Structure 1
Amino acid sequence: MRKKGRKRKPAPADHKCSPAKLTRKNTVINLTTNDPFPNHHNPTAEDCRAVRDDLLAFHGFPQQFAKYRKQRLNLVSKDEINKQESVTSSSHEESVLDGLVSMILSQNTTDANSQKAFALLKSDFPNWEDVLAADSKSIENAIRCGGLAPTKASCIKNMLSCLLEKRGKLCLEYLRDLYIDEIKTELSQFKGIGPKTVACVLMFNLQQDDFPVDTHIFQIAKAIGWVPIEADTKRTYLHLNRRIPNELKFDLNCLLFTHGKACRACIKKEDNHQKKETGSCPLLNYLKNFNLSED
């Protein structure tokens, strides 16, 4: 959620990383892109609210995202922010850089393994300067439990190196003062940082109204007719971010992600007809209605 009236600080002149390290063609998402499915009118605001309410009643709000939800609620009013300043300044709060590295480590692994990898990395290297100074093998050993250790270690080291060269320090807090499209441009420049990772940092660490699309959300969106069957993840991301009301994006995203991991019945439509426990999925009616509309 963007705070009204907050002025953007001009970005200082940057030290440039080499193009080989920093430039990634065709990866920056442009918020001004038109809806890729202008004639596909789902989901409506009413659809989004109904699914949010049904999933919330079924699952409750996922505890793993509760701290991020609380941070967003604390941004509802400027008065509340002022009240919280003395508290948040003295207590540990996940930095934007912490969040980005956590998202890198979460790729292609379980939540438990990625959280363990992040904890071990922070234990072996108390600050990001230590990580940057360490050899790649030491970083790989620290994060090995999260899988793809060489790839993730290289991505983290490259990102830290470019960030230090570009900004002069290992800190991403300046992103809080940029507009959402500028944040996407900044983060997408780092090799190995893809659109989903950028969107997650926006939503969780920067409290922006964005709607990341992972494989669970992508498959559910197709199954209940929120995007055409021929949609890919990039176009699904663009379409849903235009259709879903900002005030519903965070809760709906967390709930769809949680439900997609827990319920295999609603992921593939061919499984819906085979499912016997018809009352166990809160999205069953949406699946049925969409299947009927296709016939």
Structure 2
Amino acid sequence: MNTAKRREIFTRFRAANPKPTTELVYRTPFELLVAVVLSAQATDKSVNLATAKLFPVANTPQKMLTLGQEGLESYIKSIGLYKSKARHLIATCRLLLEQHDSEVPQNREQLEKLPGVGRKTANVILNTAFGQPTIAVDTHIFRVANRIGIAPGTTVLEVEKKLLKFIAPEFRHDAHHWLILHGRYICKARKPDCPHCLINDLCEYKEKILPL
């Protein structure tokens, strides 16, 4: 895919959705961190339902640590892998208190030292909470990048590096959200909604369905 085509794709995404953001509900970097950790292999909707009850009770590292692992589990048991996620979050709260004055760190190295936080989660925090032009490649973005030809790669890291290389600086901050929303609602895994796709004519997917 050439540079002009990539630019037009993101120009259209921006025109359709000038200020995209996560569908996770949060108010602070800590709440976002908790929500993103909980969202692994779970829907944003299920996470939002759980955190709507959790955050009024425990929305700081100290309050969550006071709640304890079993107490936290009682709020998030509707979410998959809730026991391991609760364990990770309690350990993360302890580290935030002991090493970061209860603040979520603003650099990748420190974020990835937190239990349950990998590169993808760190990228989401850096981008959404702190405005850094990172791109968190999840299953949706990996699929879209390969399917439409914008940044094909065999690994998540390869796709991430290509996206950062090929996407113009003016689009980088919002690219993560545009691509994930496109993958979630239009370029779906089993049955992409090609007829309603705003970049149908630019997409290089060989099996795409042209609009009538």
TM interval, shorter chain, is 0.7 to 0.9
Q: Which has the higher contact order (CA 8 A, sep 6+)?
A: 1
Alignment of 1:185-204 (within 5 A): 185-204=109-128
- Select between 230-239 and 277-286 the one with higher mean Cα deviation: 277-286
Confirm or deny: 8 A CA contact 2:136 2:160 kept in the other structure. Answer: yes
Larger radius of gyration: 1
Distance, in Å, in 2 between the alignment partners of 1:161 and 1:252 is 33
Deviation at 1:161, TM superposition (A): 1.1
AA partner of residue 102 (structure 2): L
Structure 2 counterpart SS, 1:220? helix
In structure 1, what is the equivalent of residue 12 of structure 2? 54
- Select between 195-204 and 115-124 the one with higher mean Cα deviation: 115-124
Structure 2 counterpart SS, 1:227? coil
Deviation at 1:186, TM superposition (A): 0.6
Question: Runs of 4+ in structure 1 displaced over 3 angstroms?
Answer: 59-66, 289-292
Match of 2:196 among 257, 280, 284: 280
Alignment of 1:1-295 (within 5 A): 42=1, 44=3, 46-57=4-15, 59-61=16-18, 65=22, 94-167=27-100, 169-172=101-104, 175=106, 183-228=107-152, 231-264=154-187, 267=189, 279-287=195-203, 289=204, 291=206
Q: How many residues align?
A: 206
In structure 1, what is the equivalent of residue 210 of structure 2? none
Specify whether residues 278 and 219 from structure 1 end up closer, same or farther in structure 2 by C-alpha distance, changes over 3 A only: closer
Report sequence identity in percent.
23
Distance, in Å, in 2 between the alignment partners of 1:102 and 1:253 is 17
Confirm or deny: 8 A CA contact 2:148 2:205 kept in the other structure. Answer: yes
Structure 2 counterpart SS, 1:101? helix
Structure 1 counterpart SS, 2:8? helix
Confirm or deny: 8 A CA contact 2:88 2:116 kept in the other structure. Answer: yes
Deviation at 1:51, TM superposition (A): 1.0
Compute the RMSD of aligned alpha carbons. 2.8
CA deviations over 1:1-23 (Å, ceiling 9, x no partner): xxxxxxxxxxxxxxxxxxxxxxx
CA deviations over 1:95-126 (Å, ceiling 9, x no partner): 32222112112221111111122222212325
AA partner of residue 162 (structure 2): H
CA deviations over 1:52-81 (Å, ceiling 9, x no partner): 233345x53576549xxxxxxxxxxxxxxx
AA partner of residue 159 (structure 1): T
Deviation at 1:197, TM superposition (A): 0.4
Structure 2, unaligned stretches of length 5 or more? 208-212
Structure 1, unaligned stretches of length 5 or more? 1-41, 67-92, 176-182
AA partner of residue 144 (structure 2): I
TM-score normalised to the size of structure 2?
0.83
Deviation at 1:290, TM superposition (A): 5.3
CA deviations over 1:205-262 (Å, ceiling 9, x no partner): 001111111111111110122233x521111112211221222023332122111111
AA partner of residue 165 (structure 2): R
Specify whether residues 50 and 107 from structure 1 end up closer, same or farther in structure 2 by C-alpha distance, changes over 3 A only: same
Specify whether residues 251 and 47 from structure 1 end up closer, same or farther in structure 2 by C-alpha distance, changes over 3 A only: farther
Confirm or deny: 8 A CA contact 2:141 2:180 kept in the other structure. Answer: yes
Distance, in Å, in 1 between the alignment partners of 2:135 and 2:60 is 30
Distance, in Å, in 2 between the alignment partners of 1:161 and 1:242 is 37
